[in-house]
């Protein structure tokens, strides 16, 4: 149906200004298979710059508190008009700005406001490339509960793309059944790229960003970490979920179901190989024992102790029911014979700590109950761990040499990852010592 098409998604920093647009056009023009393009809104041009998406959220807040639209929208307008001018395009977004102003005055929602960054950037990019612009609201859909509707999207978007050999489809948003706009969560253009790749039956999803692929650890924490050449969907899922920010945590699902590989590439160094994300790594043996390290702060532990807890029928069920009733989702639940610790995102406790404590005490009647804040979780992930003995021991040794206290340990039965809970203050140090233990020391051995 589609001749060897590639879907290319460009992140905000790749499209931050006219200079970056030129790099993007060179990349697209270098390969005739790069026919579907998914842009983000313009991102930061320098470290303390503001992303257009954030400017739009600010604009929305300002207008709902009574400020004039034209004034609140000015910073957004300047970014786009600057790009158009510097690219020397003869197009204008004037009519679009008027329409957005009217929509704001008619009570358009916050998601609509945020989505205009991708929308307007898509119009400029399509004009610059000579590609057709396809509004994501015409092909990407949510159901009435606000969940992404994969079946309808695949059918509608597939039909549109079949008739459109080259198109720009803006990232980050789609339409609700009533036609209103809804966005994915932040960073969601990665997800759009994956959705488009599936609908187009693409041979490859290229995700262009500002790093040469997935690195073993966050480059803001570890100095010049090693790159990862090949990673499996499952490994990537673990790392993205645990905060490795390169790719949105849901972005692998659409392409995974269609067996389409993802290649993470660097717009500023297009010849670098980047990282290839594949369904299975049968032909790609792991280079190191571990593939990556990622982590997140802001967790709390609900710690419950009760003698003979394990002989009390239905104890866990009742406790989990209380959490569910409060909309709390347990991330991990290490248990002992007489203890259970439930690790949760701290923000989920906001405004309901006292009530939750009271309910859990009523239901569990514990000997000891405590909520401990300030926990960070670190995931050490790797397909190479499965067959190797002693990986956990090395993680613990690295942490204990650095005098870091381990508050929780969890290893999944798939043996793909080990998760440790530590004090937030030790977070960066812990990532660095684990990196040194597995990557630096193996490099010296090689
Ligand atoms: P884009 O705007 O292209 O979508 P993002 O900012 O969302 O880009 O993602 C790329 C950033 O992710 C990098 O600049 C880097 O700072 C950060 N990052 C976090 N963890 C990692 C990692 N393990 N490997 C590479 N980059 C990482
Ligand atoms: N522009 C959106 C954001 O800043 C979506 C994206 O960049 O993927 O979150
Ligand atoms: Mg991103």
Protein residues with CB under 6 Å of any ligand 1 atom: 11-14, 40, 43, 187, 209-211, 214-215, 217-220, 244-246
In ligand 2, the atom with minimum distance to the C-alpha of 186 is 9
Give residue 167's pLDDT band: very low, low, confident or very high (50, 70, 90): very high
Residue 406 Cα to ligand 3 midpoint, Å, equals: 31
Q: Whose CA is nearest to atom 5 of ligand 1?
A: 246
Per DSSP bridges, beta strands 167-168 and 132-133 are parallel
pLDDT of residue 285: 75
Report which of residues 249 and 174 the model is more confident about.
174
CA distances from 57 to 48, 93, 135, 335 (A): 17, 20, 20, 42
Protein residues with CB under 6 Å of any ligand 2 atom: 11-12, 40-41, 51, 53, 117, 171-172, 186-190
Q: Does residue 234 surpass a pLDDT of 80? A: yes
pLDDT in tens, 350-363: 999 999 999 999 99
In ligand 2, the atom with minimum distance to the C-alpha of 189 is 8
Q: Does residue 11 surpass a pLDDT of 80? A: yes
Q: Does residue 211 surpass a pLDDT of 60? A: yes
**Mean pLDDT, rounded, for 149-175:** 98
Q: Are 42 and 15 in contact (CB under 8 A)?
A: yes
Q: Whose CA is nearest to atom 6 of ligand 2?
A: 187
Work out the mean pLDDT of the chain and round it to a whole number.
94
In ligand 2, the atom with minimum distance to the C-alpha of 192 is 8
Beta sheet of 167-168, edge-to-edge order: 132-133, 167-168, 34-39, 6-10, 204-209, 262-266, 275-278, 230-232
Report the percent of the chain where pLDDT is more than 90: 83
pLDDT in tens, 262-271: 999 999 999 9
**Mean pLDDT, rounded, for 317-322:** 93
Residue 331 Cα to ligand 2 midpoint, Å, equals: 25
Whether the model clears a pTM of 0.75, i.e. scores above it, the answer is: yes
Q: Does residue 441 surpass a pLDDT of 90? A: no
* Cβ-proximal residues to 386 (8 Å cutoff; 6+ apart), any chain: 414, 415, 416
pLDDT of residue 216: 96
Q: Which two tokens stand for residue 311?
A: 């002989």
pLDDT in tens, 389-427: 888 899 999 999 999 999 988 887 778 899 999 999 999
**Mean pLDDT, rounded, for 10-38:** 98
Give residue 334's pLDDT band: very low, low, confident or very high (50, 70, 90): confident
pLDDT of residue 3: 62
Q: Does residue 28 surpass a pLDDT of 70? A: yes
Give residue 445's pLDDT band: very low, low, confident or very high (50, 70, 90): low
pLDDT of residue 1: 47
Measured from the alpha carbon of residue 14, the closest ligand is 1
Among candidate residues 158, 214, 226, 215, the one with its CA nearest the CA of residue 190? 214
Residue 145 Cα to ligand 1 midpoint, Å, equals: 31
Residue to substitute in 79, 187, 192 for testing ligand 2 pocket (most ligand atoms within 8 angstroms of CB): 187
Say what the alpha-carbon torsion angle 30, 279, 239, 217 is, to the nearest 10 degrees: -50
pLDDT of residue 174: 98
Residue to substitute in 171, 183, 267 for testing ligand 2 pocket (most ligand atoms within 8 angstroms of CB): 171
Cα(384)–Cα(394) distance, rounded to whole angstroms? 14
Residue 9 Cα to ligand 3 midpoint, Å, equals: 10
Angle at 178 between CA 173 and CA 182, to 5 degrees: 20
Q: Are 33 and 4 in contact (CB under 8 A)?
A: yes
Q: Whose CA is nearest to atom 12 of ligand 1?
A: 246
Q: Does residue 2 surpass a pLDDT of 60? A: no
Residue 30 Cα to ligand 2 midpoint, Å, equals: 26
Q: Does residue 208 surpass a pLDDT of 80? A: yes
**Mean pLDDT, rounded, for 80-89:** 98
In ligand 1, the atom with minimum distance to the C-alpha of 12 is 2
Residue 258 Cα to ligand 3 midpoint, Å, equals: 22
Residue 248 Cα to ligand 2 midpoint, Å, equals: 10
Report which of residues 279 and 49 the model is more confident about.
49
Residue 407 Cα to ligand 2 midpoint, Å, equals: 34
pLDDT in tens, 87-114: 999 999 999 999 999 999 999 999 999 9
pLDDT of residue 446: 59
Give residue 175's pLDDT band: very low, low, confident or very high (50, 70, 90): very high
Interhelix angle 18-29/69-87, rounded to 10 degrees, is 50
Residue to substitute in 51, 186, 245, 379 for testing ligand 1 pocket (most ligand atoms within 8 angstroms of CB): 245
Beta sheet of 368-381, edge-to-edge order: 339-345, 292-305, 368-381, 417-423, 406-411
């Amino acid at each position: 149906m589609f001749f060897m098409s590639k879907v290319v998604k460009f992140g905000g920093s790749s499209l931050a200004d006219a200079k970056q647009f030129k790099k993007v056009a060179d990349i697209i023009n270098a390969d005739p298979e790069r026919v579907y393009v998914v842009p983000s809104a313009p991102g930061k041009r320098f470290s303390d710059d503001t992303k257009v998406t954030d400017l739009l959220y600010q604009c929305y807040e300002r207008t709902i508190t009574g400020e004039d639209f034209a004034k609140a929208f000015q910073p957004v307008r300047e970014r786009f008009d600057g790009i158009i001018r510097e690219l020397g395009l003869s197009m204008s977004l004037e009519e679009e700005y008027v329409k957005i102003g009217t929509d704001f005055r008619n009570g358009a929602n916050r998601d609509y406001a945020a989505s205009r960054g991708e929308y307007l950037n898509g119009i400029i990019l399509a004009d610059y490339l000579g590609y057709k612009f396809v509004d994501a609201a015409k092909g990407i859909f949510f159901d009435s509960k606000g969940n992404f509707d994969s079946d309808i999207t695949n059918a509608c978007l597939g039909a549109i793309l079949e008739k459109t050999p080259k198109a720009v489809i803006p990232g980050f948003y789609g339409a609700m059944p009533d036609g209103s706009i809804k966005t994915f969560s932040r960073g969601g253009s990665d997800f759009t790229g994956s959705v488009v790749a599936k609908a187009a039956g693409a041979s490859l999803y290229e995700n262009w960003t500002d790093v040469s692929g997935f690195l073993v650890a966050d480059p803001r924490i570890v100095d010049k970490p090693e790159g990862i050449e090949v990673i499996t969907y499952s490994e990537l899922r673990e790392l993205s979920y645990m905060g490795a920010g390169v790719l949105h945590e849901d972005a692998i699902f659409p392409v995974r179901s269609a067996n389409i590989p993802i290649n993470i590439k660097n717009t500023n160094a297009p010849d670098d190989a980047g990282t290839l994300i594949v369904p299975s790594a049968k032909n790609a043996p792991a280079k190191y024992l571990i593939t990556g390290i990622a982590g997140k702060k802001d967790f709390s532990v609900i710690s419950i102790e009760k003698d003979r807890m394990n002989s009390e029928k239905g104890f866990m069920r009742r406790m989990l029911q209380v959490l569910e009733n409060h909309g709390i989702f347990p991330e991990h639940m290490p248990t002992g014979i007489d203890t259970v610790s439930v690790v949760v995102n701290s923000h989920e406790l906001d405004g309901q700590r006292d009530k939750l404590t009271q309910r859990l005490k009523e239901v569990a009647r514990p000997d000891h109950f405590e909520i401990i804040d300030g926990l960070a979780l670190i995931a050490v992930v790797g397909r190479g761990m499965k067959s190797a003995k002693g990986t956990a021991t090395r993680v613990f040794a690295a942490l204990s040499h650095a005098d870091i206290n381990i508050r929780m340990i969890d290893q999944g039965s798939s043996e793909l990852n080990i998760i440790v809970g530590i004090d937030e203050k030790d977070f960066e140090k812990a990532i660095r010592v684990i990196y040194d233990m597995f990557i630096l020391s193996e490099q010296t051995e090689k």
